[in-house]
A = this chain, B = another copy of it.
Amino acid sequence: MPTISERGKQMPASPIRKLVPFAETAKRNGIKVYHLNIGQPDIKTPEVALAALARYDEKVIEYSHSAGNESYRKGLANYYKSIGVDVDFSDILITCGGSEAISFGLLSCMNPDDEIIIPEPFYTNYNAFSVAAGVRVTPITSRIENGFALPPIKDFEKVITPKTKAIMICNPNNPTGYLYSREELEQLAEIVKKYDLFLFADEVYREFCYDGLKHFSVTQLPGLEQNVVLMDSVSKRYSACGVRIGAMISKNKEIISTALKLAQARLSPPSLGQVIGEAALQTPPEYFKEVYNEYIARRNFVIESLNKIKGVFAPMPKGAFYSIVRLPIDDSDKFCQWLLEGFEYKKQTVMLAPATGFYSSQNLGKDEVRLAYVLKIEDLKAAVECLSEALKVYPGRTV
């Protein structure tokens, strides 16, 4: 029997999804599971997008252009212009979710054994895509104490080697909810220029910035046009995760033409998803206002409730809809699994993502979990209540 690949063995299991079988067992046993493990919002997809799908009447569901439908790319370029990001439609490749944009970026820009610096905790799947591409992740640890602000630039410079090819950030940040300021990004720009690096920026949560703060995109940093690769997705913006439509954007023509070869190899992004994506560009401002208000209320509720639980610390997120929360526990992997297979409160439990999977450094995140406040307040209330009760009886409680 032939053996699987080493990279297959090294491929990390997703902390967001690896406990799914335990959740399924809990559900089969009649337990209601509140899913705070995954950024699957319960917000409705915009009417205007669903209406476009309902009107769809093609008789042959054909491939699209490998870079995505031109009309969609042109519409998307207008969307970017409206938020102050100056791109031409030819700078855009439509991808199969933000995921494929990340893969395309890594494969186009980086060779095996090249290094990419990422502030941790980071979106766990950057790790998996890096393993698939043979790229080495060099983490720089950000800290819960200051809400996971950008680590000092000298921390980045310390780990830069001749193999360092890129820095990757997610802003607003998944999993921390931190929103990088313009000043932090300008500092980052300096070392990107100094060491001639690529700057990958995952900005899929840009519409989710709170407390009057405004998102500043790395594409607005002067002089970085040839360095920046933007990764985007419609999944969260329009609560349409299942359409698998994202985009990779760069003013660097060489990157786009290289990624286009990858795009042509897989023929086309999903055609039906593009119908949704293009129509969603017409989503009225009221939709976002309503969603925004809902998330503010959810965030405030969940963070305040969590901080009332003894031994729990949850920094206030400034963006996205995640929070990394410190719990009085020995091991977040054990705890999250135990929540599903060893605990229930009024026939209910909560599914969380162990934070260990969001750190690249060993042994970090053992007393932290990632939580996505993507459910309505009534459900969040029940979920937090479950967590509170669970912490009272969890055998591995530390304080």
Contact = CB atoms under 8 A, between A and B. Distances in A.
Given A107-B8, A227-B2, A242 B97 contact: no
B38 A63 contact: yes
Contacts of A166: 2
A106 to B, nearest CB: 9
A108 B8 contact: yes
A196 to B, nearest CB: 5
Number of copies: 2
B2 A66 contact: no
Interface residues of A, number: 84
Contact of A128 (B4, B96, B262): B262
A144 interface: no
Contacts of A242: 61-64, 268, 270-272
A75 interface: no
A393 interface: no
A88 to B, nearest CB: 16
Determine chain A's interface SS by DSSP, over half rule.
loop
A78 interface: no
A196 B2 contact: yes
Contacts of A7: 107, 111-112
A244 B262 contact: no
A97 B50 CA distance: 23
A244 B264 contact: no
Interface string A239-266: 1111110000000101100100110111
Interface stretch (A39-47, A302-310, A313-321): A39-47
Interface of A: 1-9, 11-14, 16-18, 20, 38, 40-45, 50, 53-54, 56, 59-66, 96-97, 99-100, 103, 107-112, 114, 125, 128-129, 132-134, 165-166, 196-198, 226-227, 239-244, 252, 254-255, 258, 261-262, 264-273, 276
